[in-house]
Chains A and B, each alone.
Chain A
Amino acid sequence: MRPTGASAKDAHINKGATDPRLRWYPRSWRARYGEELAVLLNDEYDGHLPTLVHLGLVTGGLRQRARQSGLTGDSAPAAERVRAGALLVLAAWVAFVIAGAGFAKFSEHFDEALPHSMASHRLADFAFTVLQTVAGVASILVVVGALLAVPAFVRYLRADGWPSVRGHFLRALASTGLTVAVTVPLVVWAHHLTPHQRNGGLHLYGILFLIWAALIVMTLTMWTVVAIVAGSRVVFSKAILTAEAILAVVIAVAMVVMVGATAVWWGAMAKDAPAFLNANPGGVPGSPWDVWLVATVALMVIAMGTAAVGVVREARVWRRVQVA
């Protein structure tokens, strides 16, 4: 047995790369290790993988993807790790937007439920205004971040990058088309319904509304995947990468502020208008723990935590990127 060289490595870019059992691993990893791992699986399990082994391949593949993208480990270059941190904040932001939409629906007309005294309005109104303002500013910053990446993305597409995003792009486009096709008749129908029918009085509308919401989430997720796939492959200049990293930090801070404002609003409503928090069917009278609100805020907190992980990832290698 002799130490292998580059040519021997290249010779192994073959069958293992297309083995469906290894589809969770990144393509470049499969090109390097795919065949020998496929042989090992055949040797050990004779083609019938136990569930635990299959699960191990899924987690191993995802871990490898995370390492290669710079999201975990220290093998990726510093710039890749900063980029991965910023993209993680973007993914967290999308989850936060989904949670925020749920919260917006829940909190509709909350001020009508408050007692008429100024004092009872003050805190809930203030927290809600902070939440809306910060959400607006953060949304603008996300758009700025996307616009900054456009020139690099165009260069990437011109340099034959289109095939790598085509599948994701077409799926997102199809999902958008389907969402629009469902939205138009739903909106038309909603205009003919009473507020009571729209808010739980008509079950069929409720079911269709949930399907529509799921389609919105799916479409948002698919476009986020397009952004992440493209964002992880385009070549950013140092200045753009720095700007994206700073925007990611500001957006993560915005999430912290919004979670704080939501908590203050929740507390104020629990004190001054507890009945509003239990307006949903099945709510426990007197309890501020509405299931929908708890789930929404939990998603906000998870998104905030994910964004914090992205920022920490950036911060750890920040100096190295600036020196390079």
Chain B
Amino acid sequence: MSLAGGAKHGHALLKDIEEFARVKLGPGALYGAITRLEERGLIKPLESDDRRRPYQITATGSEVLADSVAQMRELVRVGQARLKMARTPRPRLA
């Protein structure tokens, strides 16, 4: 999701994820995720002049992310609707 906002290298990814998701990832966990996402063709590395290699989301990655976001949106919608129901006073069963 972080790469949907533009290509980033490891350090920038960690900062961005910490900022928007409030999750502090370790470098080991980050590179585990990068390895899996690259293997699945969801992200790709970009050439860089320094030793910090940036990554970019691919078209397939964007599609998969869009599906995930849609699923999360649906989850949020159902959750909000049910919370609303729970807060509405209901008549007691006899």
Distance in angstroms between the alpha carbons of A70 and B52 in the assembled complex:
29
Which residues, 6 to 65 on B, are CB-close (under 8 Å) to A?
Answer: 7, 9-11, 14, 26-32, 34-36, 39, 44-48, 51-54, 56
Contact A63–B27 (Cβ < 8 Å): no
By secondary structure, the A interface counts as helix
Given the interface contacts A36-B51, A36-B53, does A64 sit within 8 Å of B32 by beta carbon?
Answer: yes
Q: With A3-B44, A33-B35 in contact, is A41–B54 under 8 Å at CB?
A: no
A73 to chain B, nearest CB (A): 8
A4: interface (CB < 8 Å): yes
Question: Nearest Cβ distance between residue B27 and chain A, in whole angstroms?
Answer: 5
Q: Are B28 and A53 in contact (CB under 8 A)?
A: yes
- The answer to whether B26 touches A1 (Cβ under 8 A) is no
The listed residue with most A CB atoms (<10 A of its CB), out of B9, B34, B47, is: B47
The CA-CA distance from A8 to B9 in the complex, in Å, is: 16
A53's partner among B27, B35, B44, B48 (CB-CB below 8 A) is B27
A29 CA to B39 CA in the complex, in Å? Answer: 12
The size bracket of the interface on B is 20 to 34
Asked whether A37 is an interface residue with its Cβ less than 8 Å from the other chain, the reply is: yes
Q: Does A40 lie within 8 Å of B28, measured CB to CB?
A: no
Contacts of A9 in B (CB 8 A): 45
CB of A57 closer than 8 Å to a CB of B: yes
**How many interface residues does A have (CB within 8 Å)?**
30
Closest-by-CB residue of A relative to B11 is: A43
Partner of B26, one of A36, A43, A52, A75: A52
Cβ of B9: which chain A residues have Cβ within 8 Å of it? 36, 40
- Give the chain B neighbours of A57 by CB distance below 8 A: 26-28
Interface set of B (CB-CB < 8 Å, partner A): 7, 9-11, 14, 26-32, 34-36, 39, 44-48, 51-54, 56
Cβ-closest 4 pairs across A and B: A60-B28, A56-B28, A56-B26, A40-B10
